[in-house]
Chains A and B, each alone.
Chain A
């Protein structure tokens, strides 16, 4: 285990240098989206709701945090991988060094996880200010961590598979953007028709949303969702690992 951590840190070193020097812009850019949703949906739509604005704000904060684990990681990681692969060719250097594929995969997720956790922490701080009743536990951070890891791994997958920048944009608008809205982030999935519900439950973002909401609103933990996040995480890791190991990108 220590060896994989050591190697992953070595892989991430260059990205971390960039992150350290550009932290404010990197963080602001990934906060804008979730905060806009919080204000627009929370105060805009929430004010017209029966449950009242406070109830909807309480509902939407966990959704926005879950959304941030996706928006702060996926596009950042996938475009970084694609650029390093196609335009800088610095991904080649990574393939040239005596580091195992598993460490390359994990190392490349590190800035994503960092970005995910930082932006969630900031949204959480704002959330606690505007809705003091919500719960913050260590398990919440574990969920944010796993979710950020999962979507960073998905970002690596997309970056490795994309042959040009355009395909990444298409994937983003066809899969990622709908996912941010439909996966229970801003509305309750149990209210949608059954057929659509199944589709929504097949998407990876639904599960961290459900789990994070349960923790923050002090509801029973949906262990099935927690397991589903882990399954997606392992699935994406294995796919990334195989692609890098087989050098088929």
Chain B
């Protein structure tokens, strides 16, 4: 289907501190692309550059065929963004916020009402529509932001930790909604700290650490790259360790060599294991 988001040599410095150190990536149209990384890795900064809110220190971005250097307005027309930090106007009501968003994105007036009704019902926002934003709980604010970001049916949807602060039921509902949007052709670019969910949802993920991409590929490719089988065991000092193996057999051989009374288990490698290793946060010297 072709590339819809392209970043080349993307860098961002804040007063000499380099938060993003040169990112190159391409996202295909119709993909769900996960952007993972520990706190402070530079995910939000990258999203803010990709969505035109922050000017990169250097590098090139092309969104839906439009270069952000030249055709900023055209690029903006094809994106929807739900930011990590709630960005609603707290002086007006939920309904007014959503409507203002639709007006800013030039939705035809007669489409706004029905679309707003449909989405607020889906999110269960109905009873809160006429409240001031300040009267809402954190989760409801998040839901309002999500409704705003998809109101104008963007071609590319950027979600920066959309599930932060949502209860379990709402989180599942949101993942379903993301799948549904993706089925209808929306490209999704999302960050999350729930790695097992990213593994479930994303066609491809990039793992970011200290401003650089340290791993990129489908969850399966990434798991296979470090070893398809993981053995978890407690070391002599009682600390939990893990080690990856290319197949079950070599995993079992390794387990046989461990002390008899060691707590150990053998399982499939998960994206979380990849994440821990790639970001250097694994609880032992893992890797094969």
Contact = CB atoms under 8 A, between A and B. Distances in A.
What size tier do the contact residues of chain B reach? 20 to 34
Nearest to B55: A247
B89 A97 contact: no
B278 interface: no
A10 B152 CA distance: 15
B105 interface: yes
A96 B76 contact: yes
Most B CB atoms within 10 A — which of A10, A92, A93, A246? A93
A22 to B, nearest CB: 9
Interface in A66-118: 84, 87-90, 92-100
Interface string A1-32: 00000000011011001100000000000000
Contact of A97 (B76, B83, B90): B76
A248 interface: yes
A89 B105 contact: no
Nearest to B73: A98
A162 B167 CA distance: 37
B54 A97 contact: no
A198 B230 CA distance: 80
A92 B83 CA distance: 9
B45 interface: no
Contacts of A94: 104
Contact of B105 (A87, A92, A98): A98
Contacts of B92: 14, 17-18
A246 B97 contact: no
Given A89-B86, A99-B104, A247-B55, A14 B96 contact: yes
Contacts of B104: 10-11, 13, 93-94, 97, 99
Given A88-B89, A247-B55, A248-B55, A93 B73 contact: no
Contacts of A98: 73-74, 76-77, 105-106
B74 A93 contact: no
B90 to A, nearest CB: 5
A186 to B, nearest CB: 34
B85 interface: yes
Interface in B86-123: 86-92, 96-97, 99-101, 103-106
14 contacts: A10-B103, A10-B104, A18-B92, A88-B90, A89-B87, A90-B88, A90-B89, A93-B104, A93-B148, A96-B79, A97-B76, A98-B73, A98-B106, A248-B55
Interface of A: 10-11, 13-14, 17-18, 84, 87-90, 92-100, 246-248
User: Across chains A and B, which 10 residue pairs bring their CB atoms closest together, nearest first?
Assistant: A89-B87, A98-B77, A97-B104, A90-B89, A14-B100, A98-B76, A18-B91, A92-B87, A10-B103, A17-B96
Interface of B: 51-55, 73-74, 76-77, 79, 81, 83, 85-92, 96-97, 99-101, 103-106, 148
